[in-house]
């Protein structure tokens, strides 16, 4: 049976921290499905769902075993539809833990057959978040080392 991982997120926009998680998941799973959420728990987004999906497709186009889709509704239902055995999440710091623990526990209760797997974010990206990247972009900061070049260009076009 194929080992399918779903890597969900808002990805507004994707950062090098997210890509680091995907790259490390590729050798572990048969397929890594990046699932871009339409329902983000009320969090407003700078980029539309179509834009976020397209940006991820562009920056992962040379990655093997990787697919990108948008989804709406419950993550656990989507994971089930994809026959995924694992929900993959990156953990940056202790501050992420409570929120992630809550989400993983709810998802486990909704469907015990899907495991949530946490990967420690590479220490180079511990401090990184999509919000901080947007803030830096709005202030005209160089985003090298934070996001792929294409994403830095998109942020510049949108914010400056």
CA separation for the pair 87, 71 (Å, rounded): 14
DSSP 121: P
- Alpha-helical segments (H) within the chain: 16-25, 49-59, 75-81, 94-110, 130-138, 149-159
Give least dist CB 153 to ligand COA, A: 18
Q: Tell me if 26 contacts ligand COA by CB under 6 A.
A: no
Q: Are 90 and 21 in contact (CB under 8 A)?
A: yes
Nearest to 45 by CA among 78, 70, 82: 70
Q: Which is nearer to ligand COA, 25 or 85 (CB)?
A: 25
H or E element in which residue 85 lies? none
Q: Which is nearer to ligand COA, 86 or 130 (CB)?
A: 130
Q: Which of residues 37-66 bind ligand COA (CB under 6 A)?
A: 37, 39-41, 43
Q: Which is nearer to ligand COA, 1 or 110 (CB)?
A: 110
Q: Tell me if 128 contacts ligand COA by CB under 6 A.
A: yes
Residue nearest to ligand COA (CB): 17
Q: Tell me if 148 contacts ligand COA by CB under 6 A.
A: no
From residue 159, give the alpha-carbon distance in Å to each of 28, 85, 132, 133: 37, 38, 13, 11
| Interacting residue ranges for ligand COA, rule: CB under 6 A | 8-10, 12, 15, 17-18, 21, 37, 39-41, 43, 74-75, 90, 92, 99, 103, 106-107, 121, 125, 128-131
């Amino acid at each position: 049976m194929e080992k399918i991982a779903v890597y969900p997120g808002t990805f507004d926009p994707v950062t090098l921290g997210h890509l680091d998680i995907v790259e490390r998941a590729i050798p572990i799973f048969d397929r890594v499905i990046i699932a871009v959420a339409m329902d983000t728990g009320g969090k407003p987004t700078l980029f539309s769902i179509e834009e976020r999906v397209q940006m991820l497709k562009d920056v992962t186009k040379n990655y093997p075993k990787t697919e990108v889709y948008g989804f709406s509704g419950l993550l656990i239902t989507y994971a089930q539809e994809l026959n995924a055995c694992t929900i993959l999440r990156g953990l940056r710091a202790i501050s992420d833990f409570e929120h992630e623990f809550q989400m993983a526990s709810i998802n486990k209760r909704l469907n015990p057959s899907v495991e949530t797997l946490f990967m420690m974010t590479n220490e180079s990206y511990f401090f990184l978040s999509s919000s901080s990247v947007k803030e830096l972009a709005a202030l005209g900061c160089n985003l090298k080392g934070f996001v792929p070049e294409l994403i830095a260009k998109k942020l510049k076009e949108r914010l400056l």
